[in-house]
Structure formats: structure tokens, C-alpha cells
Amino acid sequence: MTPYASFRDVFGSLLLALSVLLLPLAASAAATATYHFHDPSPIGTLHVRQPVITWKVWPGNGLRIARVWLAVNGKAVPVAYSQEQRAVVYRCPKPLPVGSYAVTCRIEFDNSQSVERDWRFTVAGTASGGLLPAPDSQQKAAWEIANALRQRIGLPPLRLDERLCAAATAHAAYLERNPWGGHEQRRGDPGFVGEHPAERTAAFGYPGACFENVAQGNPSLSSSLQTLFDAPYHRIAFLQPGSPEFGAGAVGRTVTLTFGQTEGEKIVRSPGDGQDDVPTVWQGGELPDPLRIHGASGTGGSVGYPILLARFTARSSRIKLATATLTTDDGAIVPVYVNTPDNDDMLTNAVVLIPRRPLRPHTTYRVSVNLRAGNGAYTAHRWQFTTGPDSARPHRSARRR
């Protein structure tokens, strides 16, 4: 398991934060009955009384799932296997009493082999009754903005998830009441749900890995999401292929975004190939500042818009860069700062190019990135984008909140 990483900074009244928890895929040891699985859910202390009990397991090697069985506190319950979710899914038909619960799940494959798992969860005395509320208008608006940002680079829509919405809202409310925050919560503070993002998503019944982004002090929901997307470390969560789950919460001037972790495999580029109206300037505002490794911290507002290439794979692996260049359409070299996993400990699967000066408006740029595989082979990636009007804004002094 990779521990989550946090990035925080205040630019004017802006707080940016990102947290990542990566849970590796597991597979069965038997070559004749290969299957993949994630940890079941829920585990730990729940803040809802009507959870969805799930265990994500899917077969390989041409196997199929023949039967599934699930028991709660020793009593079998009607359960089904969802091909769409690749999971055993049981939706509790009514609120559970406060207390501790033991779950056993068994999955049988069509070659007569099976896999079984036991786990426990506790319904807290403070847990809300009934199902989680459906996403509200602000959460739907955040989802639509995030999808619009993804659509511009050719990615499909995210799936709005009420569990991630509940976790994001709970953390946004916590940060409004406890301004010292970021991604960590302290036990005993008003509104405490869980110390780390994964604990908070699990508390609302969400299984698996997550990314968490936080913005504070922006004048609108759209400006919060745009600022998070513009920041290169934070943008990686938006760039995931496939349609991962998404949740949002807005309380006061705090916005929290929570992304499920994708299982798709793809190389994603941002700005995308052929994208137009790309900003010319990046205002900065991340800590660690991605410019720190180049001795250029605090120069947001005087650099160009960051360019990313991210490689998503089923199993975490470090990306290796051979060369990276940015040129204008007529071939002129544009000086850039280059961040890779070799020089930036905040990166594992992405390369970031930050132009050293603002880009020219209404200009086409070409990007060339050559990646190196473990066997020394190279893969070349070429694409282009066009800037929009001058996007420079008056620079504000950074101050810590």
C-alpha cells in the first residue's frame, strides 16, 4: 500500500490539497483459477446505518462465476453478483441497529473452485439512519464541471457516487469548522469522521482506493474546480481513464472532491491532442510547489500552462522519461521545466512540462515526449494544442492561511 501524499498551499486566499491512497490489485495464487479482488466493504466504523455490502472479485483465464453466497452475523441474505461492478453486492433493505457485524462471503467459479472472505464492521451510535441522500444540486454541478474538463481531452464521464459525495461533504464541513486542516482530521475535533481520506470514504461504505482534492477561498464552485484542474499534481486525479466514481462536497468556501481509483490502462495527455483555447499562464498555488526542484518556487503567474502526460496501469509502475520538448508550430524551441519521477518525489506515473514563460495567445504548440521502458525501448508520444486569449491575471501575493 502506498501512503497518501498531501500538497497544500495558499495563494491569496486559496488552499489546494491533494491526497492519494493507492490499493494494489491482488490475484489468486493458483494459475488454474486466477481471479482478482479488492478488499471488501464496509470495514471499520460506519457513519451510515443502511450500507451497501460489497466484495469486488472477478475471474480471469476464461473462468466464470457460478454462485455467490453472503451471510451477515451468520444469517444468509439474498445476494447477487453485479457484472457491471464486478462485485457481490448486497443493499441492506432497512437501517441496521447500532452494533458490530460479521460478514462472510463465498464465491464459486464454474470449475468448482471457490474463494471465501470474512470481515467485520461497526455501525456507530452517531450513524445516520436510512440510505445516503442523493447528490444535491451543487454536487451535480461539480460533477458536470469535472466531466466538461475531462471531455475536452477525450475522456468519458465520471460516475457520481453518493458515498463519495457524503465523504467529501463531511470533510468540507470539518475544514470549515477546523481551519487548521488539509487532509488530516484530529480525533475529538468537531465534525471528526476519520483521520485520513480512506478512513472517511470507508466510513460511508465506499470500498477501494481514492484521490482527494481540496480547494478553499475561491469565489465560486467552477473556479475551485478549474484551479484544481490547472494545478499539475491535482490534475492527475481528473485524468484517470474509464469512468471512475466521483463525489463532491461544498460547504462555505471549501470544496472537496473525491475520486475513486481507475482500473483502466491508458496514457492520457493534457492539454489533449488538438485541444484549443488552452490557458497561456499558470497562476501557481501548490505546495510542494512543482517549481521547487528547479529553484523557481513562487513564480506562479509568470510561467506557462503546465502540460502533462500520465500513464495509468492496472499495477503501479514508475514512468521513465527519455526526452521531452515543446515547440511552436514553426519549430522554435520553448524552454520548459521538466518534472519526472526521477527528479520529483511527488510523481510516479506522470511527466510534467511547465513552460518557463507564459505561452503566446492564439498559438499552436507541439509536444514530444519519449518514454523509456525497462528493456531500453522507446515509445514516442506527439501531440499539439492551441492557446486561447491571454489568460494572465493580476498576481497576488502568497500568504499562509
Quick: pLDDT tens for 76-108: 999 999 998 889 999 999 999 999 999 999 999
Q: Which of 341, 274, 356, 277 is nearest to 310 (CA)?
A: 341
Answer whether 338's CB lies under 8 Å from 352's CB.
yes
Answer whether 384's CB lies under 8 Å from 365's CB.
yes
What would the pLDDT profile of 272-316 be if each residue is shown by its tens digit? 999 999 999 999 988 789 999 999 998 878 999 999 999 998 666
What would the pLDDT profile of 238-259 be if each residue is shown by its tens digit? 999 999 999 999 999 999 999 9
How high is the mean pLDDT of the chain? Answer: 87
Give the H or E element holding residue 20: strand 14-21
**Cell reading at 372:** 523509456
pLDDT at 229: 97
Listed in sequence order, the DSSP H helices in 196-349 are 197-203, 221-230, 232-238
Q: pLDDT above 90 covers what percent of the chain?
A: 64
At residue 48, does pLDDT exceed 80?
yes
CB atoms within 10 A of CB 388: 14
pLDDT at 396: 34
What would the pLDDT profile of 308-346 be if each residue is shown by its tens digit? 999 998 666 789 999 999 999 999 999 999 999 999 999
Q: Which is more confidently placed, 19 or 104?
A: 104
pLDDT at 5: 35
Amino acid at 65: I
Phi, psi of 147 (to 5 degrees): -65, -35
Three-state secondary structure call for residue 77: strand
At residue 11, does pLDDT exceed 60?
no
pLDDT at 217: 86
Please say whether the dihedral angle defined by the alpha carbons of residues 348, 335, 398 and 295, taken in this order, is positive or negative. Answer: positive
pTM for the complete prediction?
0.84
